[in-house]
Amino acid sequence: MAEFRVRVSTGEACGAGTWDKVSVTIVGTRGESPPLALDHLGKEFTAGAEEDFEVTLPQDVGPVLLLRVHKAPPALPRPLGPLAPDAWFCRRFQLAPPRGAPLRFPCYQWLEGAGSLVLREGTAKVSWADHHPVLQQQRQEELQARQEMYQWKTYLPGWPHCLDEVTVKDLDLNIKYSTAKNTNFYLRGYSAFTELKIKGLLDRKGLWRSLKEMRRIFSFRTTPAAEYVFEHWREDAFFASQFLNGLNPVLIRRCRYLPKNFPVTDAMVAPVLGPGTSLQAELERGSLFLVDHGILSGIKTNVVNGRPQFSAAPMTLLYQRPGCGPLLPLAIQLSQTPGPNSPIFLPSDDKWDWLLAKTWVRNAEFSIHEALTHLLHSHLLPEVFTLATLRQLPHCHPLFKLLIPHTRYTLHINTLARELLIAPGQVVDRSTGLGIGGFSELIQRNMEQLNYSVLCLPEDIRTRGVEDIPGYYYRDDGMQIWGAVERFVSEMIGIYYPSDMSVRDDRELQAWVREIFSEGFLSRESSGMPSSLETREALVQYVTMVIFTCSAKHSSVSAGQFDSCAWMPNLPPTMQLPPPTSKGQARPEGFIATLPPVNATCDVVIALWLLSKEPGDRRPLGTYPDEHFTEEAPQQSIAAFQSHLAQISRGIQERNRGLALPYTYLDPPLIENSVSI
């Protein structure tokens, strides 16, 4: 006979408690117990409860290896009648044996209906560290079950593969939004939809009557940053600054020589450069920068309200004044083919010519940002990381414990996007200039050139040559956060991997990396994406990239969407007239006729309003309320990581106090751990 004390902790979320009966089987080195009921008089396992139970084993099972948790409906009907299967969110078990220290069994999972769950003691173990055959078998069975539950599919050819589910209703509870988050999400959307419907804007297919009328939609929701955009959107310095700190701060690169298809001359730019210098001198000095939207060249465009839409593939030359002056635009060409029908627009041109050219650039920014920077890099790739983690790493694996907080809700929001955003007839298809066809073509093109170095911020900054351009807060804050994540990951890897050989010998780790390469990067070796990892250093960089992409990178390109688009001329989702082929023709009425129609404007603004703010149930970067790690060493590393992030946040907030437009998208408390909206 062996007496054990079992402590059970139930989650606090809505619906976390259960009326069902719970029992446990204790599995040891010398056998296993029969199911042992956890039962008191009255109701157990209410939300937020932590309860102790005494159980007696009929025989000694030896040192404990596993805990099997069983859940079954009660013998008598529940008080509320025979409802749907009763789900239970179990946080953890603690098992106090007759002798020795208590054992902790992290769970943090939903059990829906009748069923069983096998839990491991909380010490993280790589595959080669599990020597007992029962534990080895448990790892294999867990992964087999998850691989059956979470399967891959091809959504569109040439895209990274994704979860094989059609709607969020089909998702397992462990990857669904919480009730609170789901309710808030739909309430936010409904309130915005209703307001614009009442104003008569949502169904109006015609043109805006004036820029002044556009304020009607702008006023439905506002932020300090959106107000700043409205006040300054025409200014050259603000136009240029958005390449550094706007919602797509990843394209600008130093220009050492002018592309042959962008024939800018000294005479064109002399009014901005001033006397005593030249294009060649500034190229050699490193003060010129280029934003090239060439990937849009020849892209398929959409039909909105029965009218064909238009796109451009502009090139924008920018100049950084000496002495930390503002970055300024020098010249804009709206196509990749110079000639008489593709003039180079200049700040010295007529104000409406120049404003129209800048607006075409901003439309190109919308298309590339939404299709590539946001959807592909910051949603589809994190989904690949999430699915591979669920399919190839068991709960006891240190990398699973490290990464699972950074996958929270990603499969839900991406499945929802395939339902409500990028499906035929939905927002992208009915209200953007490229539609699903253009988005898909863009993603296919970018997948052909996507490189591992682009996903690693330090390498990307070096490759683009923007290490020292002043006022680049995306770079400054991002590099600090990358460094903090890298230090944290390095400490964690050091705890569990004593050598390079230990990395190579971890078959689960190698399967995880291989699946990301094959399913996410379609086995394209030219991507530079590793299909295996050979050293601890390579593993640290890889895991840092995954965490950064799923948290900070997504925040930097998602949280500012509404700020940038609330005043639609700053970020038009489509253009209804073709790009100008000559100068001197632009007029205010032509400018408005080029912009999106009223209903498309409202459609996109509502979507970006929803996608810019977490609908509750937040977990900021470095916040890990689910204690998957039970050992002291990783807990100390987590505390050090949190302290480092707090220090970074204090510096960012101090800097922002001196800025007319604070850059907040990479302030750690405002960064979500995962892609969850």
Integer CA distances (angstroms), 248 to 300, 554, 666, in order: 22, 11, 13
- CA-only gyration radius of the chain, Å: 28
> According to the annotation, is 86 in a ligand binding site?
yes
**C-alpha closest to that of 628 among 403, 454, 442:** 403
> According to the annotation, is 374 in a ligand binding site?
yes
**What is the chain's percent helix, strand, coil content, to nearest 5?**
45, 15, 40
The upper half-sphere exposure of residue 544, i.e. CA atoms within 13 Å in the direction of its Cβ, equals 28
Q: Which residue has the tokens 């699903």?
A: 436
> According to the annotation, is 677 in a ligand binding site?
yes
> According to the annotation, is 554 in a ligand binding site?
yes
Tell me how far the alpha carbon of residue 358 is from its chain's centroid. 28
Q: What is residue 256's DSSP assignment?
A: S
> According to the annotation, is 644 in a ligand binding site?
no
Reduce the DSSP state of residue 223 to 3 states and report it. Answer: coil
Reduce the DSSP state of residue 387 to 3 states and report it. Answer: helix
Q: How far apart are CA 70 and CA 55, in angstroms?
A: 15
Q: Which two tokens stand for residue 56?
A: 């007696």
The upper half-sphere exposure of residue 273, i.e. CA atoms within 13 Å in the direction of its Cβ, equals 24
State the amino acid at position 573 in one-letter form: P
Q: How far apart are CA 427 and CA 420, in angstroms?
A: 7
Neighbours of 352 (CB within 10 A): 16
CB 69 within 8 A of CB 95: no
Reduce the DSSP state of residue 365 to 3 states and report it. Answer: helix
Q: Which two tokens stand for residue 347?
A: 């700040």
The upper half-sphere exposure of residue 325, i.e. CA atoms within 13 Å in the direction of its Cβ, equals 12
* DSSP sequence for 472-517: -HHHHHHHHHHHHHHHHHHHHHHHH--SHHHHHT-HHHHHHHHHII
State the amino acid at position 224 in one-letter form: P
Integer CA distances (angstroms), 94 to 9, 50, 101, 105, 108, in order: 9, 10, 10, 6, 13
* DSSP sequence for 13-39: STT---SSEEEEEEEETTEEPPPEEE-
Q: Which two tokens stand for residue 196?
A: 């614009």
* Span between the terminal Cα atoms of the chain, in Å: 52
CB 462 within 8 A of CB 330: no
**C-alpha closest to that of 238 among 567, 526, 559:** 567
> According to the annotation, is 39 in a ligand binding site?
yes
Dihedral over Cα of 230, 231, 236, 237: its sign: negative
> According to the annotation, is 87 in a ligand binding site?
yes
Binding residues are 15, 17, 39, 86-87, 374, 379, 554, 677
Binding residues for Fe cation are 374, 379, 554, 677
Binding residues for Ca(2+) are 15, 17, 39, 86-87
